[in-house]
Amino acid sequence: SSQDQYTLWLRYTPVKDPALLASYRRSITAVAVTGSSPTMEVVRKELGNGLNGLLETPIPFNGNASLMVGTIPSFPALRDRSKELGTEGFLILSTVMNGRKVTVITANTDKGVLYGVFHFLRLIQTAQSIGDLNIVSVPRVKLRLLDHWDNLNRYVERGYAGISLWNWHTLPDYLDSRYTDYARYNASVGINGAVLNNVNANAVILTPAYLQKVAALANVFRPYGIKVYLSARFSAPMEIGGLHTADPLNDSVRQWWQGKAKEIYALIPDFGGFLVKANSEGQPGPQSYGRTHADGANMLADAVAPYGGIVMWRAFVYDPKASDRFKQAYDEFQPLDGKFRENVMVQVKNGPIDFQPREPFSPLLGAMPHTPLMLEFQLTQEYLGQGTHLVYLAPLFKEVLNADTYAQGKNSTVARTIDGSLNNHALSGIAAVANIGNERNWTGHTFGQANWYAIGRLSWDNSLSSEQIAEEWIRQTFGNSPLLVSSIKRMMLASHEAVVNYMTPLGLHHIMGNGHHYGPAPWGNDLPRADWNPVYYHRADTNGIGFDRTVTGTNALLQYRPEVRKQFLEDEKYLLWFRHVSWGQRLRSGRTVWEELCYKYNEGVDTVRAMQSTWEQLKGLIDEERFQQVRMLLAIQAKEATWWRNACLLYFQTYSRLPFPANYEKPD
């Protein structure tokens, strides 16, 4: 039913296995929650709803509890464990208190307790034993954010799941219950911040009337541990402040932002800070005044510093004049390392170009040791089939996090760079461009929910595997039946490689339709900027295909450590990212480049077909509504995977002038 879709992974449907149900009921007879803050009220409500649903019986809240919940001071015996838990971590412990066997959920803060409660409910939802627990869990990354690319008119840039959740028209007086649900779902996976508006920002959000609306949302989110942040338009002092300049070194400009910060913090004392896209794709920025990104970021950082706010300054820049778009972010930002204030984070997209199905990690991630870097991922599938393709993104996230930058020798992974441990940064963060809107199931495609879920879990704990996260999500979203779990897991785990194969195998990139980025257009060559056109990226000609980024080409590879360069040159997954190779060159498989392209495109199509037949077997095991939705979407995906394969191979064949290999399905 539609309820199944709205409630995401917090469905709290009755535990099916009778033995398990009986054991849960035996160990949870009554609950005691200490504390009365708004967050502890949320804790009570969540435990009440969760346990009543899962155990199908009202659980009394009283003093004789077997489940005891509260901050550390409520449990003097556990005082020593406080130091393990930080400000957001929690402890779930099976122990004996006053001669009774109990389970304790505790933390240093109410927020930590809430995270612990969600974790405990997750154990039951995923049919784990709760008899003998000693779980300590502390997030590795401090800022775990969703970035909404939501415009004030509710149109979501690159949004494929309806319009914006934020109804600016009825805020601040009308508080849609969905705002609370949004906060709750985020908290359940550890997300603790939201940038409410698009990085292509409208200064109007910084006007008093809109700040009231933002404050109303902040009030709803606060009990769930979620802070709000805003995208700041760099030229706001001119647009809404009446100044004639936005020069970051101009005194009136600095004062204007200081005043604005004061005004914001008076309304929202825990306001998180600003996100800025500057001098990128036509957005205003400090370079318009001959200043650097550091000048701009520091000016804003100074404005929010007195209140504990931060600035997330994006490194997504590229210029049509650059020799290679790949290199630009590094060229502009690496020299600024060490020049930013302490409360500035530079926010770097996972790859050097733009959220492609597969990218090498951004070279900046190994090149700014003095600057805390915020890693930006994209949940909304701008270049990965948008709202209609089933693509589970955890394997993409993991590939990036596990990549080794060699910045300080072996094991200088992106994960360690981002969680601050490599360079001892106090600030650390992951931001994910949200894939949600006002569709009743939040993400349009049911499986989009898994990506929202996955980024929360991975931001909390980057050591979790894609498989573990998929399994947790499936069990909570669809149920615990073994066939269901194993089948859906198989589909999910194959899906990322599938989209790489049917769209951009072997390191092809950015060959999607110009502007909308949906569907194949490797022939695309009609936009005014070369670096917006697909032909710029694949460089196919009668000799071969691929972008030479070695010394004989743009030498973008030089932005990586020697060990990394070597890997990227050896790993055929990245072949056409870095080299222009002849059609006849033999690859490790024994096939030529041309044959391998045909093979990979076919493999992508075949994987989608296999996903379809796996799904067919689940009829009756899940509700008909979601079954049919996913089935129809998979049919679209299969059709479009074929479209991608056919379009790309027929186009590239005009250069390769080679026949299709005998054993593959031929495009027509």
Active-site residue identified among 354, 603, 623, 625: 354
State which residue, 526 or 541, has the beta carbon closest to ligand GCW.
Answer: 526
Which residue is nearest to ligand GCW, using beta carbons?
A: 354
Residue 409, number of CB atoms within 10 A of its CB: 9
Q: Toward ligand GCW, which CB reaches closer, 88 or 147?
A: 147
Q: In a 3-state reduction of DSSP, which class is residue 58?
A: coil
Binding-residue pattern over the window 474 to 503 for ligand GCW, x denoting contact by CB under 6 A: ------------------------------
- The answer to whether the CB of 651 falls within 8 A of the CB of 522 is yes
User: Using an 8 Å Cβ cutoff, are 511 and 518 in contact?
Assistant: no
Question: 246 forms bridges with which residues in the sheet?
Answer: none
**What is the nearest approach in angstroms of ligand GCW to the Cβ of residue 283?**
8
Find the shortest distance in angstroms from Cβ 509 to ligand GCW: 12
User: Measured from the CB atom, is 316 or 518 closer to ligand GCW?
Assistant: 316
Output the smallest distance, CB 387 to ligand GCW, in A.
Answer: 15
By CB under 6 A, name the one of 4, 239, 263, 354 that touches ligand GCW: 354
598 touching ligand GCW, by CB under 6 A: no
Minimum distance, C-beta of residue 199 to ligand GCW, in the bound complex (Å): 5
> Does 149 sit near ligand GCW (CB under 6 A)?
yes
Cis geometry, peptide bond prior to residue 172 (ω within 30 degrees of 0): yes
Cβ closest to ligand GCW, residue 158 vs residue 389: 158
CA distances from 629 to 473, 623, 626, 632 (A): 18, 10, 5, 5
Q: How many CB atoms lie within 10 A of CB 572?
A: 16
Q: Which is nearer to ligand GCW, 158 or 457 (CB)?
A: 158
Which amino acid is it at 407?
Answer: A
Within 300-339, the residues that bind ligand GCW by CB under 6 A are 316
Binders of ligand GCW among 280-299, rule CB under 6 A?
281
Q: To the nearest whole angstrom, how small is the minimum distance from the Cβ of residue 280 to ligand GCW?
A: 6
What is d(CA 435, CA 440) in angstroms, rounded to the nearest whole number? 13
Report the residue number, 216 or 431, with the smaller CB distance to ligand GCW.
431
Q: Would you count residue 277 as binding ligand GCW (CB under 6 A)? A: yes
- Distance, in Å, from the CA atom of 477 to the CA atom of 123, rounded to the nearest integer, reads 13
Question: Which tokens go with 143?
Answer: 């800022």
* Cα–Cα distance for residue pair 425/421, rounded to 1 Å: 7
Helix (H) or strand (E) holding 373: strand 373-378
Range 194-223, binding ligand GCW (CB under 6 A): 199-200
Of 17, 56, 84, 281, the active-site residue reads: 281
Nearer to ligand GCW, 184 or 314 (CB): 314
How many angstroms separate the CA atoms of 489 and 631, rounded? Answer: 16
Nearer to ligand GCW, 157 or 337 (CB): 157
Six-digit token string for 315: 């490194």
Question: Contact at 8 Å (CB) between 464 and 472?
Answer: no
Told to judge if 625 belongs to the known catalytic residues of this protein, a careful annotator would answer no
Applying CB under 6 A, what is the total number of residues that bind ligand GCW?
10
| Residue 412, token pair as written in the block | 């200088």
Q: What does the H/E/C string look like for 297-317?
A: HHHHHHHHHHHCCEEEEECCC
> Looking at beta carbons only, is 281 or 570 nearer to ligand GCW?
281
Is 359 or 471 the residue whose CB approaches ligand GCW more closely?
Answer: 359
Residue 639 beta carbon to ligand GCW: minimum distance, rounded to whole angstroms? 24
Q: Which of 364, 366, 327, 247 is nearest to 556 (CA)?
A: 327
Rounded (5°) CA angle 609-613-616? 140
Q: Which of 382, 439, 472, 548 is catalytic?
A: 382
List the one residue from 41, 157, 239, 603 that touches ligand GCW (CB under 6 A): 157
3-class state of residue 280 by DSSP? coil
CB of 424 to ligand GCW, least distance (A): 29
Q: Which residue has the tokens 């030089």?
A: 558
Q: Considering beta carbons, is residue 84 or 281 the nearer one to ligand GCW?
A: 281
Question: In whole angstroms, how close is the CB of 358 to ligand GCW at the nearest point?
Answer: 16
Beta carbons of 122 and 472 less than 8 angstroms apart: yes
128's CB contacts (< 8 A; 6+ apart) are none
Task: State in angstroms the smallest separation of the CB of 147 from ligand GCW.
Answer: 9
Cα separation, 452 vs 456, whole angstroms: 7
649/660 Cα distance (integer angstroms): 9
If you write DSSP's letter for every residue of 315-371 in order, what string do you get? -----TTSS-HHHHHHHHHGGGTT-S-TTEEEEEESSSSSS-SS-PPPGGGGT-TTS
Q: Is 354 a catalytic residue?
A: yes
Binding of ligand GCW by 158 (CB under 6 A): yes
133 and 94 Cβ atoms separated by less than 8 Å:
yes
Phi, psi of 285 (to 5 degrees): -175, 180
Give the whole-angstrom CA distance, residue 368 versus residue 384.
29
Q: How far is the CB of 538 from ligand GCW (least distance, A)?
A: 18
Give the number of other CB atoms < 10 A from CB of residue 118.
23
Site string for ligand GCW, 366-385 (x = CB under 6 A): ----------------x---
CB of 517 to ligand GCW, least distance (A): 6
Q: What is the largest CA-CA distance in the chain?
A: 81
If one asks whether residue 519 binds ligand GCW (CB under 6 A), the answer comes out as no
> d(Cα 88, Cα 85) in Å, to the nearest integer?
7
- The catalytic residue positions are 281, 354, 382
* Residues lying near ligand GCW in the complex (CB under 6 A): 149, 157-158, 199-200, 277, 281, 316, 354, 382
